[in-house]
Amino acid sequence: MNIENVSRRGFLKGVFAASAFVLGAQYVPELLWSKENRDASAAFQPDIFLGIASDGTITIVAHRSEMGCGSRTALPLVVADELDADWSKVKIDQAIGDPKYGEQDTDGSHSVRSFFDQMRHIGATGKAMLISAAANQWSVPEKDCSTDASFVVHKASGRKLSYGELAGFAAKLPVPKKEDVPLKQRSEWRYIGKDNALFDLQDIVTGKATYGMDAKMPGMVYASVEHPPVLGQQVTSYDDKEALKMKGVQKTLTIPIYKMPYQFQPLGGVAVIADNTWAAFQGRTALKIDWDESPNSSYDSVAFRKTLEETSRKPGKVVRNVGDVDAAFAKGGKIMEAEYYAPHLAHASMEPPVAVAEYRDGKVLAWAPTQNPQAVQDTVSSMLGIRKEDVTCHVTLLGGGFGRKSKPDQVAEAAYLSKQLGKPVKVVWSREDDIRFDFFHSVAAMYMKAAIGPNGLPIAWLQRTVYPPINSTFEAGAQYADDEMGLGWNNLPFDILNHRAENGPADAHIRIGWFRSVANIYHAFAIHSFADELANAAGKDSAQYLLDLIGPGRIVPLEYRPDEGEDGKKYPLDTARLRRVVEIAVEKSGWGKKPNGKGHGFGIAAHRSFLTYVATVVEVEVDDHGKVTIPNVWTAVDAGTVVAPDNVRNQFEGASSFAASLALFSEVTVSKGMVNQKNFNNYQVVRMDRAPQRTNVYVVESDAPPAGVGEPGVPPFAPALCNAIYAATGKRVRELPVSKAKLV
């Protein structure tokens, strides 16, 4: 199967022209366009998702973006399974951004979670109608017909008709009511739960896959933008004489600064327009730009750390309270305190931000590697003063995203420049642009305090977290991280009588955004490092202590907002499932069988995020120079029902490398408002020689509703690693990255 080259593909509405049977537009009437369902969490407003042509080609629309997590394959696979289709006859068509598809922001590890039931139902409805069509043709009862890989079969007479042959007849039938459409039993699933390859696999390995970097429009010019070095700076004057002398450089243009709050708007700056990407990059080196002052020019990440830490030592906003920690602390006894710190991070997707856009006659056509094509519509229409529906955004494959590509500032730059120039423009960010002008993962300081009971377990546990919130991107001056509290902070799954979680205020001076697994990273780092400190202080085995902290299997009552906006009844916080993944990771890793110390150690952490339970054991070796290597990682995962198990393993293998990067090396620092890191020489990520050598992933078989897969592998890794380093060396690492610690 090959996808069409997206850059040559027509508008989506043309795709179904050849289909005799299109399901979707007239379907799911009870939800059709109802206003009360038109919000991000409802997201069930399907329009056209499925078409079958007379030649048997089945077109399934993927409305989620593919950035490496597999959702572009997984959701169509679910449709195909319930349709009982021959997967080799399936063509996947990538949706443009359009509210008619429901929510399209591919983030929060929720593509399968949010759309599994809907996609099953679309496939099942198609199958039911094809069976009706065949039964009519043969004048037999529907119940005597069955399906087999794109055929309807009448076993008694040995007759069969292909889906292609039936498509025209099925199209004339009324769409059955949802409650009249049977879903397959799990045992009947043909593809779900089996090892299926990514739809685009062959295109990827042959270089034919089309990413945003590869999109083209006829007559396009190339642009590269010199952004203000400090957030909020504007151009006071600039000299482009030397730039314009350079070969291939056509002209320069300014891009206006955002209006507060900056949201996803461009940063402003000076764009060099050129014949090719290289010339545009070169032209920038010859620009002389004077920038004005910004209040963010004083931002210094070293000084800011002190501010965060001071705030973390003072009472903050209470986000969860159980019992009375103050009373427990007042009783005296053994008290333990610790502080943890994690720096800003850049996403550094392998494909830097890039987009092609054409403005013509009040409308914009864009091709972009975006996680959120509807945000492209919003951002571009707002900047250009046109209607949202006049922005058409095609979604290419994404060369990584990790949350960065939910923000389409570069697409708005391309659209704006195209309007000025009257021709299509491709904006290409360099790696330096990508790292310096990210929406950064937030720096964070955490303060932890516990009162220890006679059995060595805590009778009181206070945790306080402080960082500039993501909401600062959307609301000028926002200081509290209300939206991040569900990300591993207001839902501690430990069985402790007295517990309080707090959040202190912090101001943002650079753009803050979502980063793969988001606040779970530093929250899990603090919680599980502290748990390990308590275990060691009590002289207990870290894994057993973790199980004791989790306590017996139970549903943890969460008085505050259910995490992830999901119904707490559908996805309760179940400590029995958390215990199970811990027990699996312990067993598979041979925990306790090899002695710790002398530069070798095991560490463990378990964290539920995006409704998935994960336990990770990391084995480390620390040599005489303090160099850390990771021979093995064991990760046990309970993500509920799993569509593509091998992809789940791949995601968790990858998560251990992604997390090893941030645990060992990665750090963004800021001086005088400017980001100091620029490329992979000073923003370090793991390479093959420093990545975990082997990550062993164990996926729990479960009938529970599907949960997240792309992100949950990341959070438990850093604490498990640091706990292993402690076991190996006796050195406690309380700040990331580990590369800053003196281990010998």
Partner 1 sequence: MIQFKLNGAERTYDGDPDMPLLWYLRDVAGFTGTKFGCGMSLCGACTVHQNGDAVRSCSVSMKEVNGTSITTIEGISANGLHPVQKAWMEIKVPQCGYCQVGQIMQAIALLNQKHNPTDRDIDTAMSGNICRCGTYQRIRAAIHQAAKELA
CA distances from residue 371 to 103, 179, 228, 264, 654 in whole angstroms, order as listed: 11, 33, 25, 13, 19
DSSP 8-state class, residue 689:
T
> Least distance in Å: CB of 260 to partner 1?
32
Q: Is residue 651 a contact point for partner 1 (CB under 8 A)?
A: yes
Q: Say which residue the tokens 């310096």 belong to.
A: 436
Scanning 85-93, 395-403, 521-529, 597-605 for contacts with partner 1 by CB under 8 A, the matching segment is 395-403
Cβ-based nearer residue to partner 1, 68 or 469: 68
Q: Is residue 8 a contact point for partner 1 (CB under 8 A)?
A: no
Cβ-based nearer residue to partner 1, 411 or 481: 411
Spell out, one character per residue from 287 to 306, where the chain touches partner 1: x when CB under 8 A holds, - when not.
--------------------
Cβ-based nearer residue to partner 1, 213 or 492: 213
> Least distance in Å: CB of 644 to partner 1?
10
Q: What is the dihedral of CA 594, 596, 597, 603, to 10 degrees?
A: 130
Q: Is residue 650 a contact point for partner 1 (CB under 8 A)?
A: yes
Cβ-based nearer residue to partner 1, 250 or 321: 250
Task: Check if the beta carbon of residue 620 is closer than 8 Å to that of residue 629.
Answer: yes
Q: Is residue 645 a contact point for partner 1 (CB under 8 A)?
A: no
Site for partner 1 in 25-84 (CB under 8 A): 66-70
Q: Is residue 198 a contact point for partner 1 (CB under 8 A)?
A: yes
Cβ-based nearer residue to partner 1, 473 or 647: 647
User: Nearest Cα to 74, choosing from 718, 709, 712, 717?
Assistant: 709
Using the rule CB under 8 A, which residue among 105, 200, 409, 563 binds partner 1?
A: 200
Q: Is residue 236 a contact point for partner 1 (CB under 8 A)?
A: no
Using the rule CB under 8 A, which residue among 168, 568, 646, 700 binds partner 1?
A: 646
User: Nearest Cα to 406, choosing from 434, 439, 383?
Assistant: 439
Taking CA 304 as the corner, what is the angle to CA 682 and CA 231, rounded to the nearest 5 degrees?
Answer: 70
Cβ-based nearer residue to partner 1, 187 or 681: 681
Using the rule CB under 8 A, which residue among 82, 105, 165, 214 binds partner 1?
A: 214
Task: Check if the beta carbon of residue 80 is closer than 8 Å to that of residue 60.
Answer: yes
Task: Check if the beta carbon of residue 316 is closer than 8 Å to that of residue 464.
Answer: yes
Strands (E), 155-312: 159-162, 221-226, 235-239, 249-255, 269-274, 288-291
Q: Which tokens hold the place of 219? A: 């007559």
Q: Is residue 398 a contact point for partner 1 (CB under 8 A)?
A: yes
Site for partner 1 in 342-371 (CB under 8 A): 348-352
Scanning 23-31, 130-138, 191-199, 600-608 for contacts with partner 1 by CB under 8 A, the matching segment is 191-199
3-class DSSP state of 652? helix
Site for partner 1 in 104-123 (CB under 8 A): none
Cβ-based nearer residue to partner 1, 6 or 181: 6
182/180 Cα distance (integer angstroms): 6
Phi, psi of 569 (to 5 degrees): -75, -35
Burial class (CB in 10 A: 0-12, 13-18, 19+), 119: buried
Tell me, by CB under 8 A, how many residues bind partner 1: 68
Site for partner 1 in 687-716 (CB under 8 A): 687-689, 691-695
Site for partner 1 in 571-630 (CB under 8 A): none
Task: Check if the beta carbon of residue 153 is closer than 8 Å to that of residue 147.
Answer: yes
Cβ-based nearer residue to partner 1, 43 or 714: 714
Q: At what angle do helices 520-537 and 717-729 cross, to 10 degrees?
A: 30
598/621 Cα distance (integer angstroms): 9
Q: Is residue 204 a contact point for partner 1 (CB under 8 A)?
A: yes
Cβ-based nearer residue to partner 1, 185 or 681: 681
Site for partner 1 in 479-518 (CB under 8 A): none
Cβ-based nearer residue to partner 1, 201 or 327: 201
Cβ-based nearer residue to partner 1, 328 or 709: 709
Cβ-based nearer residue to partner 1, 220 or 606: 220
> Least distance in Å: CB of 200 to partner 1?
7
> Least distance in Å: CB of 195 to partner 1?
8
Cβ-based nearer residue to partner 1, 34 or 693: 693
Q: Is residue 208 a contact point for partner 1 (CB under 8 A)?
A: yes
> Least distance in Å: CB of 657 to partner 1?
3
> Least distance in Å: CB of 206 to partner 1?
7
Phi, psi of 383 (to 5 degrees): -70, -35
Q: Is residue 157 a contact point for partner 1 (CB under 8 A)?
A: no
> Residue 671's beta-bridge partner residues?
674
Phi, psi of 21 (to 5 degrees): -135, 115
Q: Which tokens hold the place of 726? A: 């402690």
Task: Check if the beta carbon of residue 636 is closer than 8 Å to that of residue 584.
Answer: yes
Q: Is residue 211 a contact point for partner 1 (CB under 8 A)?
A: yes
Q: Which tokens hold the place of 27? A: 């379907």
Query: Concatenated DSSP letters for 472-512?
Result: GGTSTT----GGGTTTTTS------SEEEEEEE----SS-B
Q: Is residue 680 a contact point for partner 1 (CB under 8 A)?
A: yes
Can you give the three-state secondary structure of 34-52, one letter per residue? CHHHCCCCCCCCCCCCEEE
Element (H, E) at 588: helix 575-589
Q: Which tokens hold the place of 609? A: 């995020």
> Least distance in Å: CB of 614 to partner 1?
15
User: Nearest Cα to 665, choosing from 706, 621, 631, 628?
Assistant: 628
Scanning 312-320, 408-416, 674-682, 735-743 for contacts with partner 1 by CB under 8 A, the matching segment is 674-682
Spell out, one character per residue from 238 to 277, where the chain touches partner 1: x when CB under 8 A holds, - when not.
---------xx---------------------------xx
> Least distance in Å: CB of 334 to partner 1?
40
Would strands 425-428 and 458-466 be described as parallel, antiparallel, or unpaired?
A: unpaired
> Residue 359's beta-bridge partner residues?
364
Q: Is residue 656 a contact point for partner 1 (CB under 8 A)?
A: yes
> Least distance in Å: CB of 724 to partner 1?
18
Cβ-based nearer residue to partner 1, 234 or 276: 276
Cβ-based nearer residue to partner 1, 275 or 326: 275
> Least distance in Å: CB of 696 to partner 1?
10
Q: Which residues are CB-contacts of 126 (< 8 A; sequence separation ≥ 6)?
A: 21, 23, 50, 52, 79, 82, 83, 170
- State the residues that interact with partner 1 by CB under 8 A: 66-70, 195, 197-198, 200-202, 204-211, 213-214, 222, 247-248, 276-279, 281, 348-352, 397-402, 428, 430-431, 646-647, 650-651, 653-658, 660-661, 679-681, 685-689, 691-695
